[in-house]
Amino acid sequence: MARQNAFTQIGELVVRGGTLVDETGARRGDVLVRDGRILAVEEMIDAPKGATVLDAGGCVVAPGLVDLHAHLREPGGEIAETVESGSRAAALGGYTAVVAMPNTEPAIDSAAVARDVLALGEEALAEIAVAGAITVGRHGERLVPMAELAALGVRLFTDDGRGVQHAGLMRRALEYASGLGVVLAQHCEDEQLAAGGQMNEGAWSSRLGIAGQSALVEEAMLARDIALVRLTGAPMHFLHLSTAGAIEMIRQAKADGLAVTAEVTPHHLALCDAAVASFDPVYKVNPPLRTAFDVAAIRAGLWNGVVDAIATDHAPHPPERKEDPFEEAPAGMLGLETALAVAHSALCASPEESGDGAGPGWVPRVEGTAMSMRVLFGLFSWQPARIAGLDQDGRGTRGERGGQGGPIRPGVAANLTVFDPTAEWVVDSSRQASRSRNTPYAGRRLIGKVRHTVFAGEVVVRDGAPQR
Amino acid sequence: MRLSDAFAEVAERPIPKVPALRGRTVATVFMEPSTRTRLSFETAAKRLSADVMTFTAATSSSVKGESLRDTVETIDAMGIDAMVIRHHASGAPLRVTDWVGASVINAGDGTHEHPTQALLDCYTIREALTARHGEVPADLGGLRIAIVGDVKHSRVARSNVLAFSALGAEVVLVAPPTLMPASLEGWPVTATGDLDAILGELDVIYLLRIQSERLGEVLLPSLDEYHWRYGLTRARADALKRDALVMHPGPMIRGVEISPEVADLPASLVTRQVRNGVVTRMAVLFHLLGSGAM
């Protein structure tokens, strides 16, 4: 394999001087990497002759981040993003694995398309897993060949971009999926209740005269699907939950012992609907930015383990599509390059630090609620790795490369993120690796930056710069 | 308001035209069909001797294949001083201010705002009060104004709520719950679904247009039902105070918002509103583009 040669050529690697954070806890340590795997973890390691040394002083060294939810747009939307450009953005954001969403053109609803995307992933700067559609063409009518896709390593299935509207069909999909070792993931949006709503329904939508989408749009489908999980016993993952009510429903479902997992996005945990007052479509996203009350509930859900993962919903759109009025622009925001820094600024950095400079819609953190690095990286790395089946025990996309999400110990694949929690930086949308520019954080100061990313033993990002 | 008075005087002249904006160019950019508002602005600009360019396109940017930014930057590049923009999408004129050097005048955007309508409505009420009392009132303090109809989808209502309350009037919104905004948090208003209960307290009743599209969205059972519950019928007109003013932004649908015989009552200010639209818009254009004396 070409990639294998690429990293064997760079020889040995030492990640020096950082604080290792993984599921087992946090401790000081150096990491020695050879042939794509961690060879040794010691308090101090002398670099072997010829080894590359990555300085991790003052940094957290964590298992590489795993994104459950990225729209890489290939095939069909290459003007906005490709697997290659998306993986570059991912590497810069500290990701070593990304699940590519299937709402491409054509949709990932057949083995042929899945194979194409997996093949594009071979050359990428991160492991590319694919999610399959639940229904053919994402039309909500017929099931995709789930078993055939599962045999290719597809673990998540979703019609994301849309929810499966037909309750009866969703029941059959869950029943059919049982026993295949796969997880159906839902974009919860009841389209009849949504009725064309463009932003959160509430004080801001009323004042701005923009059609609203109530919290019920999300919660009605979530309630239906939790009931279907109860009925069928099949596991389900819930994408980009955005409302306080949805978080409470997940809490209850887990308390009832149901096999449900949930993700939230960086933007739903950081921003509220007040940002839309500018009418700038960069703040248009689906589900929409909600109220500060919802943001607080999401943060609580991340804290107390109700929410399993932070996932980007990275959704590139070419600039001209965001230069239309709010109501006509497509929904979606970039996420891969900023996700960890946004979450860190919103959840971990002190409120004075993130403060007012954070910009429109930013919800300041309540004093005394700083999240630990272990909880933060759990949400970004080993918890999503497990949901995507990319962890040590999972199949990975290619057998030999399961091994996302750590732990950091000898024998495990060397997928590592080196994060400097004190680095402050201002997001410059013109300097992002994504082909698109639709980041809501342009010009904002964030606290915490990815310094290096090691993917399967290869240094793909060094000092914030991509290495290929 | 005083500027509008001056231009009202111009409108009374045998040749109602002044050279105040000679050499200036005003572009009317209408992305939503509205002959009345466009003619009103263009008449205002011409009475000020400005040159007028007209751009109309009813289709959305995505259908056209050109972004809003490209469209307005192209027009701006032709060398204009003001862009009067009407758009079917809320917030479009605010976005345009980021992209063009010309002054931008919002001529109605989606279901957001219609500021010049609010100005002309305030001017019209002031004019009526002046005629009644023989002196110009300081503001609209002490007036109770009901805005009746599809508040949820009305840009006129949003602008008038702000304008009327800024001038001291007490505003009450009247609509069935399906046509009321989801939230009135922060709005300086009270709200009711019962028009008949408040008719006798009103100094101004401002009727909004009901669009038949709302039936398809199941926001109303029928236009007849709306008329039965909220239409200004003869009986309701009789229940108003004797000197209550009746207003409507047009176009008025007789038999829905208002009964045909009531529309022509002396209390109706509808034609004054149209006339004052021109003079108020002259004032807006002069305020933005004029220099020195008129």
Closest-CA distance of chain B to residue A399, Å:
44
The predicted structure's pLDDT at residue A1: 37
- Are residue B149 and residue B102 in the same domain, yes or no? no
What's B126's domain CATH number?
3.40.50.1370
Give yes or no: residues B30 and B46 share one domain.
yes
Q: Which pLDDT score is estimated for A123? A: 93
Pairing of strands B144-148, B204-207: parallel
Asked which of A94-103, A278-287, B16-25, B206-215 is least confident by mean pLDDT, the reply is B206-215
Residue B294 lies in a domain: no
**Which residues of A are known catalytic residues?**
313
Q: How many domains does chain B have?
A: 2
| Chain B residues closer than 8 Å to A208 by CB | 90-91, 112
Gyration radius of chain A over CA positions:
21
pLDDT tens digits in sequence order for chain A, 468 residues long: 344 444 445 679 999 999 999 999 999 999 999 999 999 999 999 999 999 999 999 999 999 999 999 999 999 999 999 999 999 999 999 999 999 999 999 999 999 999 999 999 999 999 999 999 999 999 999 999 999 999 999 999 999 999 999 999 999 999 999 989 999 999 999 999 999 999 999 999 999 999 999 999 999 999 999 999 999 999 999 999 999 999 999 999 999 999 999 999 999 999 999 999 999 999 999 999 999 999 999 999 999 999 999 999 999 999 989 999 999 999 999 999 999 999 999 999 876 655 545 789 999 888 777 899 999 999 999 999 999 999 987 766 655 556 899 999 999 999 999 999 999 999 999 999 999 999 999 999 999 999 999 999 999 999 999 998
- What's residue A6's pLDDT? 46
Can you give the pLDDT at residue B35? 87
Tell me whether residues B89 and A327 touch, CB distance under 8 A.
yes
d(CA B9, CA B21): 17
pLDDT of residue A399: 56
Residue B123 pLDDT level (bands cut at 50, 70, 90): very high
Distance CA A213, CA B14 (A): 54
Go through A225-252 and write b for each residue having 16 or more CB atoms within 10 A of its CB, e for each that does not.
Answer: bbebbeebebbbbbbbbbbbbbbebbbe
Q: Which of residues A258 and B6 earns the better pLDDT score?
A: A258
Least confident span in A96-110, B38-52, B80-94, B211-225: B211-225
Say how far apart CA A37 and CA A190 lie, in whole Å: 45
Tokens 């999926």 sit on residue = A177
Same domain, B257 and B121: yes
Q: Is residue B98 part of a domain?
A: yes
Average pLDDT over residues B240-253: 92
Same domain, yes or no: B160 and B25: no
Contact criterion met (CB below 8 Å) for A36 and A6:
no
| pLDDT at residue A38, rounded to an integer | 96
Within 13 Å, how many C-alpha atoms sit on residue A147's CB side?
4
E-state strands within A110-265: 127-130, 156-157, 183-186, 199-200, 212-213, 236-238, 260-264
C-beta atoms of A279 and B184 within 8 A: no
In this predicted structure, which of B86-90, B123-127, B218-222 has the lowest mean pLDDT?
B218-222
Domains present along chain A, CATH in parentheses: 2-60+413-418+455-466 (2.30.40.10), 63-395+425-448 (3.20.20.140)
DSSP letter at B210? P
Q: What is the pLDDT of residue B198?
A: 98
Kindly state whether residues B88 and B133 are assigned to the same domain.
no
B60 to chain A: which residues are within 8 Å by CB? 324, 328
Interface of B to A at Cβ within 8 Å reads: 60-62, 67-70, 87, 89-92, 94-95, 109-113, 152-153, 155, 158, 181-187, 217
Same domain? B119 vs B103 = no
- Say yes or no: B138 and B97 in one domain: no
Shared-domain flag, residues B34 and B169? no
Task: Specify the pLDDT at position B7.
Answer: 87
- In angstroms, the separation between the Cα of residue B191 and the nearest Cα of chain A is 14
Which of A201, A324, A437 is the best substitution to test chain B (most B C-beta atoms within 10 A)?
A: A324
Task: Determine the pLDDT at residue B8.
Answer: 87
Is pLDDT at B60 greater than 90 in this prediction? no
B269 domain residue, yes or no: no
Distance (Å) from the C-alpha of residue B183 to the closest C-alpha of chain A? 5
Strand partners, A61: A20, A418
Q: Is A137 exposed, middle or buried (0-12, 13-18, 19+ CB in 10 A)?
A: middle
The domain containing residue B75 runs over which residues? 2-110+274-289
Same domain, B127 and B78: no
Domain presence at residue B100: yes
For residue A210, the chain B residues in CB contact (below 8 A) are: 90-91, 110-112
- Smallest Cα distance from A158 to chain B, Å: 28
Give me the pLDDT at residue A33, please. Answer: 97
Strand A37-42 relative to strand A25-34, pairing: antiparallel
Chain B CB contacts of A209 below 8 Å: 90, 109-113, 153, 155, 158
